[in-house]
Amino acid sequence: MCGIVGYIGNKSAQEVVVGGLRKLEYRGYDSAGVAVLNEQGLEFDKAKGRLAVLEERLAAQPLRGTVGIGHTRWATHGKPSDENSHPHLDEKHAFAVVHNGIIENFLPIKEELLAKGYTFTSETDTEVIAHLLADMYDGDIVSTARKAVKRMRGAYALGIMTEHEPDKLVAVRLASPLVVGIGEGESFIGSDIPAILEHTRDVYILNEGEMAVLTRDGVELMDVESGKKVEREIFHVEWDLVQAEKGGYDSFMLKEIYEQPQAVRDTMGPRIDPDSKRVILPELKMSDAQLASYDRIYIVACGTSMHAGLVGKDVIEKWTRIPVEVAVASEFRYRDPIYSDNTLMIVISQSGETADTLAALREAKKSQVKVLAITNVVGSSVAREADEVLFTWAGPEVAVASTKAYTSQVVTLYLFALYLAQVKGTIASAEIANIVDHLQAIPAQISTLLEQSDSMRTFAESIQDVGSLFFIGRSLDYAVSLEGSLKLKEISYIHSEAYPAGELKHGTLALIEENVPVVALATQPDIFEKMVSNIVEVKARGGRILGFAMEGDTELAKTVDEVVTIPATLPMLTPILSVIPLQMLAYYASVARGLDVDKPRNLAKSVTVE
C-alpha cells in the first residue's frame, strides 16, 4: 500500500527519498510528500496526485538537508489532498512522521490532544502521532516514541524525525512491513526493499514490535515493549534492481505476463526430480508422517490469491481425497472456525504482508494450527510467521494486477498437492510421472499462447465501450473465470461478473440480451456437454460468445462466435493455460480505453490495512 522512505547520511536527503519513492510507485498512491531536516529546522512539501507533481514543486524550491523522510499515500482517513498527505508535523513543526497502516484509537487520542489546545490541519489518523510525540517528548526521541506507540492500537510502520535530535531517525514496525538499510556513513528506511536497493543491499527486516534507531554511524534495533537491544544478522539482497524495471515493454504488467514461462519454470524446476518424475519439497520441515496426518485443510487468501486457492482446492481434493475449504481472509478472520489436531491452514499472499491474511494466520497459530504459507517475498511477515513456507519464485511483480504471481501460486499448489498425494499414496507413481511430464510442458505452452495475443487484442478492442461482460465456466473453468473477471475489472474498469454456468437459469439469464459479451470456458471434458448446453442458453438470448476450447476440440466452434484454443494438457492443469489469454484480454481492454495499466485507480499492490 503506502510507501515509506527515510535517509540519514551525507547526500541530499530529498534526492535519495524521492528516488526511493519512485521505486515504490507500484504500490498504489494518491499523494506524496517529503520532509527534510536542516539548520533551519524541519522543511517539507507534499502534494495530491502523482509523484511528478511533487517533483515539479521541489525542482522550483528544493529542500536542503541530509536527513529526511518521504511517503506515498493511499487514502484511508480523509480524502486525497495536500493537507492529508504525509509527512505530518506537529503544530510547531518540531516532529515529522510518515505512517503506513491505521491507528484504530486515533479519535480518543485526538480528543485528548484537542482538549490540551493542540490544533489539527488534516483529517488523518497520522497527524495524531506527530502531536502525541510533541506532547510526550521527554528529551529522548527513542523513549518518547516507545511511550507514544504504546498508546496506539492498530497497524503501523512509522518513520520519525525531530529537530530536537537532528542526527537520528526512528523506525517502528507493528503489522506493516518496514526494512532498514545499512550503508557506509548512511542509513535508510524503506517500506519495501526496492526503495533502497539502489544504495545498499544490506538490510535488517524489522519484526513485529521492533524499532530501529538510525544514525550516520549505524543502526540499533530494539524491542519496543522492553527497550532491550535486538541482535540480528544482516540480510543481503541478491536480486537485481533491473528485474523491477520494464525491460523494453510498454508496461510492467505486459512484461510480467511475458515473464510467466520463466516464472513457472523457476517455481517448478528445483522441485521435480528429473529421474523419478516425483515432486520434492526439501524446504518443508514437517515429517511425511505429520503431513499425512492432516485430514482437513483451509486455504485462506484474498483476491487473486484466493482464486489460486480455488484451483488448489480442486486439485488437492481430487489427488489426495482430503476435504479443503477456501475462505476469503477478510471474512475468515472474524469467524469462529472449527479446527482439529489434524487441520492444516494454507495461506497465500503475493506480498506476504496482506493484512487480512496475516490476521487469519495469527488466529490459527493461537489455536495451535499448523500454517503453510505460499508467498513470493522472502523475509515477508507471512514467510516469517508461518510454520512452513513454499516460495513462488516469480521474481518482483510491480504491476498492481497480479499475473505471474498467480500462475506461480497455482503451480506451487499443484506441486504441494502432488507431494501430499505421494506421501499418502493416493496416486500411483505412473500417474504422478504423467502429471509431472505435463507440468514440465506448461512453460512452452504458455509461450505458445503468448504468441497468439493478437486475437485477444481484437476482442478487447471490440468490448472497450460495453457496459457489462460476463464470464461463465464450470468446475475449474469457473475458478479461472473468477480471476479473468477480476483482472478485467481491476485495470479496464469494465463491469464484469463470473458465474458458474449451471447457475445461469437461476437468475443471471435475465441480464443476457442482444450482443452482451460472454466469455465461456469449456476445457473440462467430463462436463463439456453440460457446458455447451449452458452456452446455447446464452446464445439463444442474443449473447456474443468468446469460447475457450482445448486443442483438438471441434465442437465448441459450432455454438460460439469466436474460439480461443488452449494447448492440449491434462484437464486438471488447464487453469495455468486458460488464464493467460484472460490476462491479455484485460490488458488490451485497458490499453484500448487509454488507462494506466500498472496503476489502476483506487487500488494498491500490497494491502496492509483491513
- Is residue 2 flagged as an active site residue? yes
Q: Is 232 exposed, middle or buried (0-12, 13-18, 19+ CB in 10 A)?
A: exposed
Task: At 390, give phi and psi (nearest 5°).
Answer: -115, 115
Residue with cell 519496543: 224
For the chain, give me the number of helices (H) and strands (E)?
A: 18, 27
Q: Is 151 helix (H, G, I), strand (E, B) or coil?
A: coil
Yes or no: say if 500 and 525 are a contact pair by the CB < 8 Å rule.
Answer: no
**Helix H or strand E segment including 329:** helix 329-332
For residue 323, whether the previous peptide bond is cis, meaning omega lies within 30 degrees of 0, is no
Question: What 3-state class would DSSP assign to 246?
Answer: coil
**302 noted as active-site residue:** no
**Spatial separation of the C-alpha atoms in residues 501 and 359, rounded to whole Å:** 34
How far are the Cα atoms of 76, 159, 561 from residue 491, in angstroms, in the given order? 21, 32, 25
Pairing of strands 343-349, 296-301: parallel
Whose cell is 534492481? That residue is 241
Cβ–Cβ < 8 Å for 392, 410: no
Identify whether the C-beta of residue 505 lies closer than 8 Å to the C-beta of residue 472: no
Q: How far apart are CA 319 and CA 342, in angstroms?
A: 18
Dihedral sign for Cα atoms in the order 425, 428, 433, 436: negative
Active-site residue, from 2, 46, 48, 370: 2
What is the grid cell recorded at 379?
523475509
DSSP 3-state of 271: helix
Distances (CA, A) of 579 to 299, 483, 521: 20, 8, 10
Question: Look-up: residue for cell 508461518?
Answer: 386
Sign of CA dihedral 68, 72, 75, 78: positive
Nearest to 142 by CA among 172, 113, 163: 172
Q: Measured between alpha carbons, how far is 399 from 401 in angstroms, rounded to an integer?
A: 5
The CA-based dihedral angle spanning residues 271, 277, 278, 279, taken in that order and rounded to the nearest 10 degrees: 20
Cα distances (Å, whole numbers) of residue 455 to 17, 432, 447, 562, 590: 43, 35, 15, 9, 15
In degrees, rounded to 5, the angle at the alpha carbon of residue 39 between the alpha carbons of residues 35 and 43 is: 20
CA dist 292 and 305 (Å) reads 25
Secondary-structure percent of the chain, ordered helix, strand, coil, rounded to 5: 40, 25, 35
**CB count in 10 Å sphere of residue 122:** 18
Q: For the chain, give the number of residues.
A: 610
> Which of the residues 23, 48, 370, 605 is marked catalytic?
605
Q: Which residues are catalytic?
A: 2, 605
